[in-house]
Amino acid sequence: MTTPAIETSGLRKAYGRTVALDSLDIRVGAGGGTVLGAPLGDLDTRRRIGYLPELFRYQAWLSAREVLALHASLAGLDRAGRRAEIDRVLALVGLADRAGDRTGGFSKGMQQRLGLATALLGDPALVILDEPTSALDPVGRDDVRVIIREAQSRGSAVLLNSHLLGEVERLCDRVAIVNKGRVVAAGSLTDLLGETAVRLQVDDLPPDGTLDAFGPVERDGEGWLIVRGVPGDRVPELVAAVVGAGGRIHAVDPGRRSLEDLFLDLVREPKA
Amino acid sequence: MSARRVLVIAGLTLREMARRRVLWVLLGLVVVSVILVGWGTERLVTLARADRVGEAEIRIGVSQVLILIAFMFSYVLAMSAAFLAAPAIASDVETGTVHAMLARPLRRAELLVGRWLGLSIVIGAYAALSGLLAIAVVALVSGHVPPHPFMAVGYLTSEAVAVLTVALTLGTRLPAMAAGAISVVVFGVGWFVGVLGNVAVAFNALTLHQATEAFRLLLPTDGLWRGVIYGLEPPIVLLMSVGRTAEANPFFAPDPPPVAFTAWSVVWVLLVLVAGIGLFRRREL
């Protein structure tokens, strides 16, 4: 168990009478076991955090490079390495050739890229991204996923807040679902979504227990054969085994519940 | 409070003023107003000399014109200060620029003080340049040199900084437009109450006089304006204007502002700034 980068216990935040968070308990695991070890209000802690707000704009009269230089200087980044680090994040988000342009002329997608570059400046121990893929087209979303994975591989812990659950499912190791200010489910994706169950439509499969090696086998009312507890990477093996035993496959559904299904189950009020 | 981060924000503010062409507009205004002042004074002096008006009288006339010009300029300055300072925090909050900035190791107090410093430099430079050039051009065309030109410009600048501080502080909570408008109104009310104070002295209305004196401590802009007048007044005007009726003239100051009052004005600006820090820190962003 690595030390968490974020740990909250009974965190509460209200805006007037609107409760945004009501007793929130979460733990965000740290990549590389980095410890921040202090509350967020601490200036030294903030030096090691990158943050992309949901709604933001940078000074329209600054160029992309100047915005990054401002943040590098506020974060107290080492002077000698600043230029190289700014070049690195600019290249990472694909803004290298627009570095000298004023951000006022940037599209929403380019603003978002600049926001990511700012958040990732100086390899922070923790990167907090609030809806990083909102307002982006599919290509832009894919780019952002690549950028986030790059940050993960460089040892940053990433806290991603998103309503696009497909994004969360693709990127996150651990997930917490918050409803009405409280965590209603938390854990690794496998924990939350349960084991995978491969469903097959098969003819001519001899009942000799070929598939017992993969997990418990049952047949549902609609004629689907269900094999429980098959990890995703063993699905081709399972298909090969069925074919090898003489079975004729019409359909394979390796699906597990999507995060979206789980979310709806948890969040939707039970109909009276 | 880190001086380095305050300076980073002050530098950013200066760069913003340059990039948004505020500096160039102000510089253009300086040139235009100085040319107009020079031309107007030159016409006045030439016409008076043609009418064989005595040099002493011309100088008194010119000194009064200069005070009137300074009065109008103090309004222009107050409005510039209010409308530059009011959006400094307010629109950063509205556009969401502060969210990204304050996630960095930057305190809200440092952001506010840095903004204040940058704006004070811009407004101070504008006031000093305009004021000194106008005095110089008047001296050139009329020969009238006010007794304390630097004192006059100094008080003019501090008056503008006081308005700027009010606008900046109001802008931590109010929308930019409201903060700017209120600051200009506050400045106007300050001057009006000052005039009331003069009238109170002329009519020997003691209670009214005390009330206006108290208000002057609450809002020192008008007291600072008296310093501008005193710096521009030739001694002969002081000698001529004796008695209560002279006191009723809002463009006349028998004495310079007391040192204690000037010191209080500095403290007042700092207090308003501290109040701004308090308001800004308690604001939900």
> Which of A49, A61, A62 is facing B103, going by the closest CB pair?
A49
Compute, in degrees rounded to 10, the torsion defined by CA atoms B223, B154, B20, B36. 90
| pLDDT tens-digit series, residues A156-212 | 889 898 888 888 888 888 888 888 878 888 888 877 877 677 888 888 887 777 788
What pLDDT, on a 0 to 100 scale, did the predictor assign at position A1? 39
- Residue span of the structural domain in which A51 resides: 36-172
What pLDDT, on a 0 to 100 scale, did the predictor assign at position A116? 93
> Which of B15, B19, B96 is facing A56, going by the closest CB pair?
B96
| pLDDT tens-digit series, residues A37-74 | 556 667 877 888 899 988 788 899 999 999 999 999 99
Residue A71 within any structural domain of the chain: yes
Closest CA to B227 of B69, B117, B122, B70: B70
* Nearest CA distance, A16 vs chain B (angstrom): 10
Q: Choose between A55 and B111: higher pLDDT.
A: B111
What pLDDT, on a 0 to 100 scale, did the predictor assign at position A179? 84
What pLDDT, on a 0 to 100 scale, did the predictor assign at position A39? 61
Mark whether A212 and A160 lie in a shared domain: no
For residues A87-105, give the mean pLDDT: 94
List phi, psi (to 5°) of A50. Answer: -110, 140
Q: CB of B16 within 8 Å of any CB in chain A?
A: yes
For residues B6-30, give the mean pLDDT: 94
Chain-centre distance of CA B277, in angstroms? 22
The answer, yes or no, to whether residue B184 has pLDDT greater than 80, is yes
Q: How much of chain B exceeds pLDDT 70, in percent?
A: 97
* Count of residues making up chain A: 272
Q: CA angle at residue A83 from B121 to B92, to 5 degrees?
A: 40
> Which of A49, A55, A73 is facing B96, going by the closest CB pair?
A55
* Nearest CA distance, B95 vs chain A (angstrom): 6
The answer, yes or no, to whether residue A269 has pLDDT greater than 70, is no
Contact list in B for residue A59 (CB cut-off 8 A) is 12, 16, 97
Mark whether A204 and A118 lie in a shared domain: no
* CB pair distance less than 8 Å for B97 and A70: no
Contact list in A for residue B96 (CB cut-off 8 A) is 53, 55-57
What's the rounded Cα separation, in Å, for the pair A131 and A165?
11
Mark whether A206 and A168 lie in a shared domain: no
* CB pair distance less than 8 Å for A115 and B99: no
For residues A210-234, give the mean pLDDT: 80
Mark whether A215 and A155 lie in a shared domain: no
What's the rounded Cα separation, in Å, for the pair B44 and B58?
9
* Nearest CA distance, B85 vs chain A (angstrom): 16
pLDDT band at B83 (very low <50, low <70, confident <90, very high): very high
CB B151 within 8 A of CB B231: yes
Tokens of B188: 């106007």
Find the closest chain A residue to B5 by CA distance.
A74
Q: What is the value of pTM for the model shown?
A: 0.85
The answer, yes or no, to whether residue A36 has pLDDT greater than 80, is no
| pLDDT tens-digit series, residues B147-167 | 999 999 999 999 999 999 999
What's the rounded Cα separation, in Å, for the pair A88 and A95?
10
Residue A101 within any structural domain of the chain: yes
What pLDDT, on a 0 to 100 scale, did the predictor assign at position A262? 81
What's the 3-state SS for B75-138? HHHHHHHHHHHHHHHHHHHHHCHHHHHHCCCCCHHHHHHHHHHHHHHHHHHHHHHHHHHHHHHH
Looking at the structure of chain A, the number of domains it has is 2
Residue entry with tokens 């300029």? B73
CATH assignment of the domain containing A157: 3.40.50.300
Residue A132 within any structural domain of the chain: yes
List phi, psi (to 5°) of A38. Answer: -155, 160
Residue A59 within any structural domain of the chain: yes
What's the rounded Cα separation, in Å, for the pair A223 and A235?
19
Helix (H, G, I), strand (E, B), or coil: what is residue A10?
strand
Q: CB of B282 within 8 Å of any CB in chain A?
A: no
Q: Choose between B112 and B199: higher pLDDT.
A: B112
- Residue span of the structural domain in which B158 resides: 3-282
Q: CB of A65 within 8 Å of any CB in chain B?
A: no
Mark whether A151 and A202 lie in a shared domain: no
CATH assignment of the domain containing A247: 3.30.70
Q: CB of A51 within 8 Å of any CB in chain B?
A: yes
* CB pair distance less than 8 Å for A53 and B96: yes
Mark whether A99 and A152 lie in a shared domain: yes
The pLDDT mean for chain A works out to 82
H-run or E-run covering A52: strand A49-52
CB B154 within 8 A of CB B256: no
* CB pair distance less than 8 Å for A51 and B20: no
* Nearest CA distance, A99 vs chain B (angstrom): 17
ipTM field: 0.86
Mark whether A168 and A223 lie in a shared domain: no
pLDDT band at A33 (very low <50, low <70, confident <90, very high): very low
Tokens of A12: 């509460």
What pLDDT, on a 0 to 100 scale, did the predictor assign at position B242? 65
Residue A148 within any structural domain of the chain: yes
What pLDDT, on a 0 to 100 scale, did the predictor assign at position A30? 46
Residue A226 within any structural domain of the chain: yes
* CB pair distance less than 8 Å for A71 and B104: yes
* CB pair distance less than 8 Å for A47 and B97: no
Q: CB of A74 within 8 Å of any CB in chain B?
A: yes
Looking at the structure of chain B, the number of domains it has is 1
Cβ neighbours, 10 Å, residue B245: 10
Q: CB of A186 within 8 Å of any CB in chain B?
A: no
* CB pair distance less than 8 Å for A74 and B107: no
> Which of A44, A56, A76 is facing B100, going by the closest CB pair?
A56
DSSP A194-249: ---EEEEEEES--SS-GGGGTS-EEE-TTS-EEEES--GGGHHHHHHHHHHTT-EE
Hey, CA dihedral for B262, B263, B264, B267, is it positive or negative? positive
Residue A264 within any structural domain of the chain: no
